[in-house]
């Protein structure tokens, strides 16, 4: 721990030098980056200084007690040392929590993509229920959920839908939703009452700023077309829909939510930046997870993370073995208890990593 704490102090001093440098001050992007990093570690630095002060007081008290002859004074010093040892342990624990690596994306808004998986129309209906669940969750927390693109079925299901959720700290709450969600229930079309298992995949991507992802216009192929949705608001008579392809990676984004081609282009570009950010960071995350103990799963959309069992009214998250028996309430958007359990499990796993170093 000593080496890690010293590195934090060294970085703190370096950052103070950097933000006082006229060349950095005139460089707005770097200045913002360094001031944010300084702000992020200031509490840790203050806690380190508090720990150093306690350790010095304890050393002094232990030195005095070894020389002290007066029994009464020895007793007072002994009591003081016990208090300092207790306080030292408390500050050490607080420091461990502060040293847990922070996900720089947690404070951001996010892009959510839901796709129907195995199970035909039943999977599409379940995908739509997940979509409504996250929209309701957003409404309850006064986040802004906005559809970007959707492919809906005639029976009210969704083959795939992409939407943004805007608000401070949204990604930090929803990032653990990435993966395969499985539903077990009797479909309305099932005359024999047999339980069917269907799936839907969810991907949650942080919404990134322009400075984080640079896209060369020559790398983009943009096509326009008319909506081919099931009807209603998803059909228009002009070529306002956008299909954007990033040629180097082959990533394709479509947007047909707005009637304006310009607005659809802006939304598609926003999704493209988030997907590219995730694409370029996926290899790093893979190596990071392999080198450290796994948190609560990879967050990969191929990993089965949760089962929604209708006959038992049960939701089980398989990554942390956490079960709730309030399925209807959960699907109406009240998913905070699950999110909190996932955040706690992630924090505990990261804390174990800090303690191992």
Mean pLDDT of 60-88: 91
User: What residue spans define the domains of the chain?
Assistant: 2-98, 110-348
pLDDT at 1: 53
Mean pLDDT of 230-242: 57
Please check the confidence at residue 295 and state whether its pLDDT lies above 50: no
Q: What is the mean pLDDT of the chain?
A: 86
Residue 146 forms beta bridges with which residues?
Answer: 164
pLDDT at 285: 57
275 versus 352: which is more confidently predicted? 275
How sure is the predictor about 238, in pLDDT bands with cuts at 50, 70 and 90?
low
pLDDT at 278: 83
Beta strands at 179-185 and 304-309: parallel, antiparallel or unpaired? parallel
pLDDT at 98: 87
On the 0-12 / 13-18 / 19+ scale of CB atoms within 10 A, 9 is: middle
- Ramachandran angles phi, psi of 55, nearest 5°: -60, -40
pLDDT at 230: 47
pLDDT at 292: 41
pLDDT digits (tens, 9 = 90+) for 303-344: 789 999 999 999 999 999 999 999 999 999 999 999 999 999
The token duo for 72 is 């009464």
159 versus 263: which is more confidently predicted? 159
pLDDT at 236: 46
On the 0-12 / 13-18 / 19+ scale of CB atoms within 10 A, 48 is: buried
Mean pLDDT of 177-195: 85
How sure is the predictor about 287, in pLDDT bands with cuts at 50, 70 and 90?
low
Q: Which residues of 109-139 are buried (b: 16+ CB within 10 A; e: fewer)?
A: bbbbbbbbbebebbbbbbbbbbbebbbbbbe
Task: Report DSSP state, residue 199.
Answer: E
User: In which region does residue 284 sit, left (phi positive, over 0), alpha (psi from -120 to 50) or beta (all else)?
Assistant: alpha
Tell me if 149 sits within 8 A of 257, measured CB to CB: yes
Mean pLDDT of 55-66: 92
How sure is the predictor about 356, in pLDDT bands with cuts at 50, 70 and 90?
low
Please check the confidence at residue 133 and state whether its pLDDT lies above 90: yes
Mean pLDDT of 137-145: 96
pLDDT at 227: 65
pLDDT at 121: 92
In the chain, the N- to C-terminal Cα span, in Å, equals: 7
CA distance 357 to 344: 20
Please check the confidence at residue 352 and state whether its pLDDT lies above 50: yes
The token duo for 134 is 């996250």
Q: To which residue do tokens 């991907």 refer?
A: 203
CA distance 141 to 29: 31
Mean pLDDT of 62-77: 89
134 versus 282: which is more confidently predicted? 134
Provide the 3-class DSSP secondary structure of residue 289: helix
**Predicted model pTM:** 0.70
110-348 folds as Alpha-Beta Plaits (3.30.70)
Q: Which residues of 300-329 are buried (b: 16+ CB within 10 A; e: fewer)?
A: bbeeebbbbbeeeebbbbbbbebebeebee
Tell me if 174 sits within 8 A of 112, measured CB to CB: yes
293 versus 289: which is more confidently predicted? 289
Task: Count other Cβ atoms within 10 Å, centred on residue 257.
Answer: 22
pLDDT at 265: 87
Among 37-41, 94-98, 230-234, the least confident range: 230-234
How sure is the predictor about 128, in pLDDT bands with cuts at 50, 70 and 90?
very high
- Between helix 28-67 and helix 71-98 the angle, nearest 10°, is 160
Q: Given CA atoms 289, 294, 296, 301 in this order, what sign does their dihedral have?
A: positive
The token duo for 279 is 């694409």
Please check the confidence at residue 293 and state whether its pLDDT lies above 50: no
Task: Report DSSP state, residue 315.
Answer: E
Mean pLDDT of 154-158: 91
pLDDT digits (tens, 9 = 90+) for 192-218: 778 999 999 999 999 887 556 778 888
pLDDT at 56: 94
């Amino acid at each position: 721990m000593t080496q890690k704490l010293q590195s934090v102090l060294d970085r703190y001093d370096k950052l103070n030098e950097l933000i006082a440098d006229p060349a950095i001050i005139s460089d707005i992007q770097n200045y913002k980056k360094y001031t944010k990093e300084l702000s992020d570690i200031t509490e840790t630095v203050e806690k380190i200084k508090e720990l150093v002060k306690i350790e010095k007081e304890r050393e002094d008290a232990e030195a005095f007690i070894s020389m002290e002859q007066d029994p009464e004074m020895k007793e007072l010093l002994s009591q003081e040392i016990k208090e300092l040892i207790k306080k030292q342990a408390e500050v050490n624990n607080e420091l461990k929590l502060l040293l847990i690596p922070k996900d720089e994306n947690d404070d951001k808004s996010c892009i959510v993509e839901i796709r129907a998986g195995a199970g035909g129309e039943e999977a599409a209906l379940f995908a739509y229920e997940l979509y409504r669940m996250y929209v309701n969750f957003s409404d309850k927390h006064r986040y802004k959920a906005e559809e970007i693109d959707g492919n809906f079925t005639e029976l009210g299901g969704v083959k795939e839908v992409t939407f943004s959720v805007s608000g401070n700290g949204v990604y930090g709450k929803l990032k653990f939703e990435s993966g395969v969600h499985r539903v077990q229930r009797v479909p309305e079309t099932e005359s024999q009452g047999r339980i069917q298992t269907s799936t839907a995949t969810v991907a949650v991507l942080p919404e990134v700023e322009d400075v984080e992802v640079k896209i060369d216009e020559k790398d983009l192929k943009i096509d326009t077309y008319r909506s081919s949705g099931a009807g209603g608001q998803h059909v228009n008579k002009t070529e306002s829909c956008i299909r954007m392809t990033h040629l180097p990676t082959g990533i394709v984004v479509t947007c047909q939510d707005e009637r304006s081609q310009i607005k659809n282009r802006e939304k598609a570009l926003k999704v493209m930046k988030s997907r590219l950010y995730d694409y370029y960071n996926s290899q790093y995350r893979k190596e990071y997870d392999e080198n450290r103990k796994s948190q609560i799963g990879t967050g990969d959309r191929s990993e089965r993370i949760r089962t929604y069992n209708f006959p038992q009214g049960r939701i089980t998250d398989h990554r942390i073995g956490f079960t709730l028996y309030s399925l209807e309430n959960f699907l109406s958007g009240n998913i905070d208890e699950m999110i909190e359990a996932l955040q706690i499990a992630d924090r505990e796993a990261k804390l174990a990593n800090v303690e191992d170093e």
